[in-house]
Homo-oligomer: A and B are copies of this chain.
Amino acid sequence: MTTNLSTLTNGLRVVTHEMPHLETVSLGAWVGVGARHDPAPENGIAHFLEHMAFKGTAQRSAQDIAEEIEGVGGDLNAATSLETTAYYARVLKGDEGTALEILADILQNSSFDAEELRREKDVILQEIAASRDCPDDVVYDLAQEAAYPGQPLGRTILGTPETVTAITADGLRSYLDSRYISPSMVLSAAGGVEHGKVVQLAEDLFAGLGCVECGPSNGEKACYRGGVTASARPYEQCHVLIGFEGPAYGKPGYFASQVLSGLLGGGMSSRLFQEAREKRGLCYSVYSSVWGLSDTGVMTVHAATGPELADELLDVLSDEIRRLAEDGPCCAEVQRAKAQLKAGLMMGLESSGARAEQMARQLICHGRLIDKNELIAKVDAVESEDVRQLLETMIRGEPTVAVVGAGARSQDHAQRVSRSFRAAAA
């Protein structure tokens, strides 16, 4: 199994991981722009463009695109996140040329037909409505808004019905021309594939990509604020979330934040699972998660329970966070969280899709590929006191507390929980 990286004449990076024992190939194009780069009046444009890429080019109708990739048994999908947009396919070995050709076409020759644009707005309005019917999405969207108020990171990836409705074909075209340029993009493939063949195909297929940054810069720096947000909804459960600012992905403390999230709420042996679910039976799922962006990061804990138990759940989550910041984790907890992170890395290397994505993200975020052993060494280097200090620093900042669902009375309690962190920090 070998990893190879080449840079095409136009600056596009092509990375492959040859896994000769596999009969399938995962490949895709990752673009280093996402929803946080949306201009405010066009909130949702990165995601809208991702949809419109499937709606036809000069050569292919929307139906042609779908039929061509699915005709060889492949599938093609795309996803927009805060800082990246990805277009990826999985096909049988030997069909990578078909997938690459379609990817190259939809990323360079979209026609943005007016009728298709109008219909796709309706599809996205339904996607927004579906997201509003999903309690998990609602609580994270509200928390993000409270954490980064009035900023790109505080807005949703999908946009609002108003901003989506306002997006035009010209807007999409100019976004594409200025953003989808070769130095910001990575073509990544893993599985039963040969590096030389991918490079050769890509050199031709992606020759039309612009290579000069000609749009606005990548926008405003994030300024985490935090705050309390609550929304009464007709749910059976009440969702509660507590978050703090964490390290950006290149910053010291980033790997400690991953260990912290793991031992706090990453698995069945984690503190929150043991206390909230196993000892108290308060909830079915309770998770901690941490995401790092280029200039900020957030660690959140989230769980849901009956409205009459929401205050107790909020107290349990905040008490556990505080206790961990005071006493620090024991060595066995740190060891377990590290073992899980390292095993997760190994498991990811065995999936062609996960591997293709990992390589592309490393190139976009860090400008280089990071060896497995370097990642493992960084995880191994995290010590108990690093985790404690990181959390202590985190909770000195303003918390983000979100309460959504049945029992809006928890808003007052959310305020108290928020104040209790601020009082301890003062």
B304 near A343 (CB under 8 angstroms)? no
From A214-222, A290-298, A332-340, the one touching the partner chain is: A332-340
B76 near A268 (CB under 8 angstroms)? yes
A94-123: CB near B (< 8 Å → 1, else 0) gives: 000000000000000000000000111111
Q: Does A305 contact B (CB under 8 A)?
A: yes
CA distance A335 to B70 in the complex (A): 10
Q: A62-B278, A306-B129 are in contact. Are A339 and B71 (CB under 8 A)?
A: yes
B92 near A278 (CB under 8 angstroms)? no
Chain A 1-35 residues near chain B, CB threshold 8 A? 21-24
Q: Chain B residue with minimal CB distance to A72? A: B339
Chain A 58-102 residues near chain B, CB threshold 8 A? 62-63, 65-67, 69-76, 90-92
Least Cβ–Cβ distance between A82 and chain B, in angstroms: 20
**How many residues in A have their beta carbons less than 8 Å from beta carbons of B?**
74
Q: Does A135 contact B (CB under 8 A)?
A: yes
Residues of B within 8 A of A336 (CB): 67, 70-71, 73
Question: Which of B133, B277, B340 sits near A236, CB closer than 8 Å?
Answer: B133
CA distance A350 to B123 in the complex (A): 34
B343 near A74 (CB under 8 angstroms)? yes
| Chain A contact residues, CB within 8 Å of chain B | 21-24, 54, 62-63, 65-67, 69-76, 90-92, 118-127, 129-130, 132-135, 234-237, 267-269, 273-274, 277-285, 304-306, 332, 335-336, 339-344, 346-347, 349-352, 405
Tally of this chain's copies: 2
B23 near A126 (CB under 8 angstroms)? no
Q: Chain B residue with minimal CB distance to A280? A: B119
B122 near A278 (CB under 8 angstroms)? no
Least Cβ–Cβ distance between A184 and chain B, in angstroms: 26
Least Cβ–Cβ distance between A226 and chain B, in angstroms: 26
Q: Chain B residue with minimal CB distance to A65? A: B268
CA distance A129 to B308 in the complex (A): 13
B126 near A339 (CB under 8 angstroms)? no
CA distance A284 to B125 in the complex (A): 8
Residues of B within 8 A of A273 (CB): 66
* List of 7 A-B pairs having minimum Cβ-Cβ separation, nearest first: A73-B343, A122-B281, A73-B339, A119-B281, A66-B268, A66-B269, A234-B234
12 pairs, A vs B, C-beta closer than 8 Å: A70-B336, A71-B339, A72-B339, A73-B336, A73-B340, A73-B342, A122-B281, A126-B237, A127-B284, A133-B135, A133-B237, A234-B234
Least Cβ–Cβ distance between A102 and chain B, in angstroms: 12
Q: A24-B347, A350-B23, A350-B24 are in contact. Are A126 and B306 (CB under 8 A)?
A: yes
Q: A21-B21, A282-B126 are in contact. Are A269 and B340 (CB under 8 A)?
A: no
B67 near A269 (CB under 8 angstroms)? yes
A123 near B283 (CB under 8 angstroms)? yes
CA distance A118 to B278 in the complex (A): 11
A70 near B339 (CB under 8 angstroms)? yes
CA distance A62 to B278 in the complex (A): 8
A346 near B23 (CB under 8 angstroms)? yes
Q: A71-B335, A281-B119 are in contact. Are A346 and B305 (CB under 8 A)?
A: no
